[in-house]
A and B are shown apart, each in its own frame.
Chain A
Amino acid sequence: MVQLVGSLRKELADSLYTCKVLVVGAGGIGCELLKNLVLTGFKNIEVIDLDTIDVSNLNRQFLFQKKHVGKSKAQVAKESVLQFCPSANITAYHDSIMNPDYNVEFFRKFMLVMNALDNRAARNHVNRMCLAADVPLIESGTAGYLGQVTVIKKGLTECYECQPKPAQKTFPGCTIRNTPSEPIHCIVWAKYLFNQLFGEEDADQEVSPDTADPEAAWNPEEATARASASEKDGDVKRVSTKEWARSTGYDPIKLFNKLFKDDIMYLLTMDKLWKKRKAPTPLDWTQLENKASPQEESPASGLKDQQVLGVWGCCQLFKHSVETLRSELREKGDNAELVWDKDDPAAMDFVTSAANLRMHIFSMNMKSRFDVKSMAGNIIPAIATTNAVIAGLIVLEGLKILSGELESCRTIFLNKCPNVRKKLLVPCVLDPPSKNCYVCASKPEVTVKLNVQKTTVLSLQDRILKERFGMVAPDVQIEDGKGTILISSEEGETEANNSKYLSDFGIRNGSRLQSDDFLQDYTLLINVLHTEELERDVEFEVVGEAPDKAPPPQSNPEEVNSITNGNKDSAQPSTSSKGQPQTRKRLSQKEKKNLHGHDL
């Protein structure tokens, strides 16, 4: 094949033949990127993606066709590219990049790593692997019409984790279980419910009324009412939700009456909750059935998904989806579990109907299936054009890195339309590493505020080390002079510690924990700050980091950047839209940095 060298310098063009690069993710950006790489002259490419192809990918992931649905993205992407460019040498992995097989040695093989990912956990992990292997990384993302590309090089630029990202939104358990006030609360509840009934049960995803709600502390005289209500509920309490559901044979009407009548009546007995709030209204299947009017189902114009169903419509959808899920579960055999997936019609119908019924009960305006899907699936709109633009930019940054011109690399933001300065693209000079970064600093250290008497070893491991600090398999040692091992990544070694509290190991205010992740070649020193004054449902706080707040603007953009950014795309899942008029929002450079697209 004639390779068009064109505007590349010859030495650069030659080096493309020999250098090996890794593409992490073979989705929207990944497909475009693979094409651009081979056509720019890259010969040795490895690509990894754990996902399989879905119909909703086909509007942009052009290496896939309808016949490929269900197959490995990485594998099909490789085959499609080879069809067009047989001379390329491509290795595909249908796997998670967080698998320990892909260790520092693996990363060292590459001259360049390019992320085309859709989630923060994997981005954090690849960031650490590239720091450990000292390989340059190009990070990118798109969301609707917006996109960005940046370059990360150990010691020279900020790493992916130098700027704290706003915490992913979570909701207090009591809000979900007792006092939802926004549609998203009901949607989260419905997703939990799905797992409780059909999927993997998770103690953190309870859906029944929470009697321990501190806001609901009862007066003694109401004890009678409570007792009688909980008697009705008695058999449900003793067995798990799933076992109970199973014992009814997943009878949709029994489930309905338990979830939307009995549980709600039970909530009503916690009357302190409803002093200031509007109390929920229980629903009764038979009553609804009797007064159901046939005209409620009149289909208007437009897409079916975009219509809001009436209450009885939701009831029928609920019944129908429970029946479908029940047979799916039966087909899979004993002890089978379903996994919730926004693109599985029955699972989505279930969440749509259950969430809407709960919204109605709690006097909220109901939502269409289309909107529920957006919120439940954290769907970020994605189109071919933005991915094409971003993948084009990635390769150009890559060429600069390979020619040793790191100083000319930029973070580039793509706007929805030319900004007030008539710029569609906003390039910014790369920032140097942050000295206080808990990942790329020479001796990373953080202070965590928690209650040593209430924090278990398991929640230290899962919530703090894994979820918050992005470790995959942490080992933890207490710096108590004896080197007590608190958590070991070897299976079975420290499991007995899991349910114990930190204080059981002598950990107290001022204790220091050394946490290592062997795979990521990463050590983090944790200073424990004991406190008894955390807000309800808050397990811990990282000191010096205001959760949910954007970091202060700084940075040195090449131009004064005062564009109004359309990051509030109408389709963007919005979790708190109550009465907030969309005011003119100007984003600082750093805030924009946190606008991480998620299309892979």
Chain B
Amino acid sequence: QQIQEDLNKQLFDNLVSFLRRSHSGFQEKTTEWTCRMKTREIPTAALVLGVNVTDHDLTFKSLTEVLHNNVTPYIALLEAKDCPGIKNLMRKLIGQLMNCRVDVDSLEEEDYVQVSQNRIPCSMTSLISWYESVTKKTDAGTPRKRRTSSSRHWQSPPVVVMFQDMESFTTRVLQDFIVISSQHIHELPLVLIFGIATSPMIIHNLLPHSVSSLLCIELFQSLSCKEHLSTIIDKLLLTAQFPFKLGEKVLQVLINIFLYHDFSVQNFVKGFQLCILEHFFCQPLSVLCCQLGDVKKKVNSLSHNQCENIRRLPSFRRYVESQASEQQIALLTEDNSLKETIQKLLEDLHIYHENYIPVLRCLHVFTSSLPKYPLGKQIRELHCACLENRVWETEEYESSLQLARMLNRSDLVTMLQQCVEILVSSPGKEFDEPVEKLKEFLTQFQKLEEEAFQEWDVSVSSPKELQKKTDLYHLQKTLLELKESRRSKKLTKFEMLRFEVIEYIDSLVRNYLVPADHKTLHEIMYFNTASVLREHLNAAPRIALHTALNNPYSYLENQALKSDGGSISNKAPDICIVYKLHLECGRLINLSDWLEAFSTVVMGAEGPNADAASSDHVDDVIHARFIRAVSELELLGFIKPSKQKADHMARLTWGGC
């Protein structure tokens, strides 16, 4: 599936470029401080990244890349799990720095590096001497690839040390490292970067004042992951560029996982990839899910079997039923006419997408500024609502229109301008007419404004007249009149126009925001089996284990194991029997009782005569089987030997205590 690979690549490109952009601002600042180093302070960047720890890897990787290309070749990335002590930290740091030097300096002096790994002691002095030798060499020697600009501080590029997960480092290690490096800041231009997941207060919690006073901390806040998600959704789903689309339910599942569970953009992207995979794997007609240019070729190469598949699609059947009878026959019997129609329909679908997105954005412009956000604050919520069913039939839509009818003029004008921009920039061809219409509205508003100004002049002059009249009754009367006139005369024009605008937007929505399910052949483009996705992404280990052991049929699919529940079948694997028996026990399980119960269940099949023979003595084989099953359970972590009572096992599973 080549398309899928392409998609993945594009997707990662998107992500990386996005990250790069978000860091570019940060980047410039790094270079700024390096020249402004204080006497004994280590310049430090505290990078607040949010709690989505899984994304940090990627972020730091791209950050390293960017720094490497633009600032300095000396970068070390430290993770807490590698550095339990200061010794390990130094070793890791030196190793990384020296290795990166090898990258830059190609292959010269290979032997030296090989020796260094083992022999050079992990201390700051060796690091400094290394740094001096390296910088000296570059000063005299060949020009590097990196931007050697005119400014002086490039001569000694800073050494950047990044702590990826600041929270997990032990305080001792960090403190020692900072103290050491502050002693040598003159010889070694060091820059620290702390990756912080929670809040910057953690720095003060981790480091005492005497240590943190050695740092010159500057704070950088990365984008919140919610914004990150919206950009990704914007780029991936709300473009006509990619033919593959997500159905409403699937999108809902993905967003829910994101919001409820992990805030991890990476997981979202992975979920999306899984959807792509699933779609192309399970839907035989997904060959047609491709760019518009390729459609013709692909449609022509459809086999008879695939045509039959298309005829079976529910949306296509609906379409056929709506056609005239002879056409129905033609569609159902002749492959060629079918192919022509498919092509036409796919083109329709494509145009629908092209129109759908700009109109959706327009609607979002309107709804996002309404009080209480009846249709949601984010465009993704609106998108979900539109995909779910006809958006104009919902109550929320009604209420939002109601609210929109009460907007004031300046807001309305800015919104209209935004809409015009969106529509103009969109690739769809059908938007000439709406754009014209909207522009017309705008000019009308402008006219109204001018008129309003004139009227304002009039109304300004009227209070002067009022002041002349001292009679209270007259005053009241004129005030009332003024109010009346204002309400009836001046505002009506504006209101009429506002009403028209809203009506027009409404008609646009009705025209273009038809949910995708109502379109013919939507199955080709949309992936809508949310249950599959949920199964894959929302793993439930407890439930899976329980069903496996409680109802072995569900996994083994052996007819003999099919049980009616409740009773314990003796044909089940031993471990299942033992498991079921242990479910009936309390926190502590008596082993001999358990064995007895086990043997009764197993012997149940052999009939009552066998039972009589071994009533007092348990068969050795059964004993062995029992021991094996119990040790299997212990291996799975369901039970453990207890020290409280002899010959008892402690139950560790749910409901045990």
Partners in one complex: no
List the interface of chain B (C-beta within 8 A of A).
Answer: none
